[in-house]
Structure 1
Amino acid sequence: MRNIRIILEYDGTNYHGWQYQKNALTIQEVVKKAVEKITAEKINLIGASRTDTGVHAYYQVANFKSKTKIPAEKIPYAINSLLPRDITVVEAEDVEQDFHSRYSSKGKRYRYVILNRKFSSPIMRNYCWHINYKLDVERMKEAANFLIGTHDFSAFKASGSNVKNSIRTVKEAVLNKDKDIITFEIEADGFLYNMVRIIVGTLVDIGCHKIEPYMIKNILESKNRNLAGKTSPPQGLYLLKIFYVNSL
C-alpha cells in the first residue's frame, strides 16, 4: 500500500470549502471522486487545511493510501484529466506511511488581498475584499507587528470554536500596498478557525482609525472575541504554503 501526497491549487469560488459536506459541493469531494476513478478503489483523502467557502489555495496538501501502480509523476496528469478547470493537482509523490497531511504539518502561510479604491472590480470580485474608503496602511503595519510571537489568540477565533488550546506562534505578519492593492501575509505554526479573517477585519478597523494600533496587544490579552474586528469576507483569503519537517 502506497501513501501518496498531492499538492493542489484551486479557485474556491464555486465550492463550499474543502471539507466534505452532505448537501454541498466541496473540493475534497471532487478530488476524491477523481482519485477513486483513476485508482479503481475507495480512498480516504486527507487535506492539510479545511479552507472555507470561497477561500482559494495556491498550495493545498492532501494524501491518500492506494495500491495503484500509476507512477507518481503520472498521477497529476491522470487526476487532472477528470478535474474541472478550477482545481489542479500540480505535484504528486510517494511519502512515508506515517505522513499525514494535517497532523504532520509544522506551519502554514496565508495571504489576504484587499482592493482599496472607490469602485469595485468586476474582474477581482471573487478574489479580494473591496473597501471603498481609504485605509491608513502605516497604522495597519504598526498593528501587525504586535501579532508576531507566541500569544493566546482566543480573541481572534470564531465564536463557538471548540478548540481547547488557542496558543499559536506567529513567525511573520507583513502588510504591503501596491497602488490599490493591499496584501497581508501571515505565517504561523497553526491557525484557529477564522483567525486570519478576524485579524484582517481588526487591521481594517485600525486602518480607518476606529481603534489605535496598540489595541491589537490589548485585544490579544483580553481573549475576548467581541473586542476584535468583524470577520473579513472569505474571497480575499489564499492558502499560500504548508510547511513540514522536510519542507516540500
Structure 2
Amino acid sequence: MRIAAILEYDGSCFSGWQRQDQARSVQAVVEEALSKVADEPVQVTVAGRTDAGVHALAQVIHFDTTAARNAYSWVRGANSNLPDDVAVLWAEEVKNDFHARYSATGRYYHYIILNRPIRPTYLARHVTHEYRPLDVASMQDAARFLTGEHDFSSFRAADCQAKNPVRTLRQLEIYRHSDLVHIHAHANAFLHHMVRNIAGVLMTIGAGERKSSWAEQVLEARDRTVGGITAAPDGLYLVSIGYPETMNIPVVAPAFPQIVD
C-alpha cells in the first residue's frame, strides 16, 4: 500500500532534507523511524527537498510498504522513534497514483526577518536578522516585477539541477508585524535557493541600497551573478504543499500562526 504523511521539523540541526553519508539529514531520521514501525526498510519520496537550516511546517512525503498499520500506528509509532526536532502530524493510506512531488499543484514558503538593531535570542536560527531598517513599501513595489510566469535563472543556485528555469510565482506578499518582516511566496514550484535569492534582492532594496526597479533588472538579466546575496536559511519555512482536493491531503494549520501567518 502507499502511505502519505505530513511532517513538521526544525531544520536548525540538520544538513537538509536529503540523506548524506557524513551528516544528519531529515530523510535519514524519518526513514529510520518509519522502518521500525513497518518492521521493514522504508524509503520515502518528498514533495520538496529543503536545505540545511530550513524548517517545515507541513512537508509531505509518501512511501510504499507491505506493512499493515492503521493511521494512528503510523503517526504514534513514528513519533516515538523520531528525535525531538521532527514530528509526523498526519498519515493515511492513499491511492497508488498519488505522488508527493509530482501530484503537487503548488508550494507555499514563508520567510521571516527580524528587523531591529539587536540580534535575536530565543528566535535565533528561526528568523533572519537584518539590523538596517527595511522599507516594506519599496519591497512591496519590487515584488510586482517578480510575480507571474518568468525565467528565474537569476534567482536559482549555480548548482540547481532543474532543466527548466521557468516558474509561475502566483503570490509574493511582504508585510510587517512590529519588528518582524514577512515574505510570503506561493508558486507552482520553486528552483533551488529561489526563495532565499528573492529575499536577498528584496532585503537589498528594502535597506535602500537599490531601487525597486532593480528587481526587474535582475530578473531580465537571467544571470545569478547580478542578483546579490543569497539570504540566510534560518528564517525560511516550507509552510504547505497544495494538491487537488480529490487526493484528500489535509491542510495543516501552523502550530504558531502568530509567527507564520
TM-score w.r.t. the length of structure 2 is 0.92
How many pairs does the alignment contain?
247
Using the TM superposition, name which of 99-108 and 22-31 deviates more.
99-108
SS at match of 1:234: coil
Distance 2:126 2:2 in 1: 33
1:182 matched to which residue of 2?
181
1:18 matched to which residue of 2?
17
Question: 1:74 Cα shift?
Answer: 2.8
SS at match of 2:145: helix
Indicate the RMSD between aligned Cα atoms, in angstroms: 1.0
Identity %: 39
Deviation track 1:5-63 (CA, whole Å, cap 9, x = no partner) reads 00000101111111111111101100100000111111221111110001000010011
- Asked if 2 retains the 8 angstrom alpha-carbon contact of 1:199 and 1:229, the reply is no
Deviation track 1:41-96 (CA, whole Å, cap 9, x = no partner) reads 11221111110001000010011101122112331011101111111100001111
- Asked if 2 retains the 8 angstrom alpha-carbon contact of 1:172 and 1:186, the reply is yes
Q: Mapping of 1:94-105 within 5 angstroms? A: 94-105=93-104
2:205 matched to which residue of 1?
206
Deviation track 1:147-176 (CA, whole Å, cap 9, x = no partner) reads 111000000001132322000001110011
Distance 1:85 1:162 in 2: 32
Distance 1:188 1:124 in 2: 27
The residue type equivalent to 2:84 in the other structure is R
Using the TM superposition, name which of 143-152 and 194-203 deviates more.
143-152
2:214 matched to which residue of 1?
215
TM-score w.r.t. the length of structure 1 is 0.97
1:66 matched to which residue of 2?
65
The residue type equivalent to 1:212 in the other structure is K
Distance 1:91 1:162 in 2: 30
2:53 matched to which residue of 1?
54
- Asked if 2 retains the 8 angstrom alpha-carbon contact of 1:202 and 1:229, the reply is yes
1:161 matched to which residue of 2?
160
Q: Which runs of 5+ in 2 are unaligned?
A: 251-261
2:143 matched to which residue of 1?
144
Question: 1:219 Cα shift?
Answer: 1.4
Using the TM superposition, name which of 205-214 and 150-159 deviates more.
205-214
Distance 2:22 2:108 in 1: 30
Distance 2:54 2:162 in 1: 21
Q: Which runs of 5+ in 1 are unaligned?
A: none
Deviation track 1:198-247 (CA, whole Å, cap 9, x = no partner) reads 00000011011111112211211110112212100111100001011225
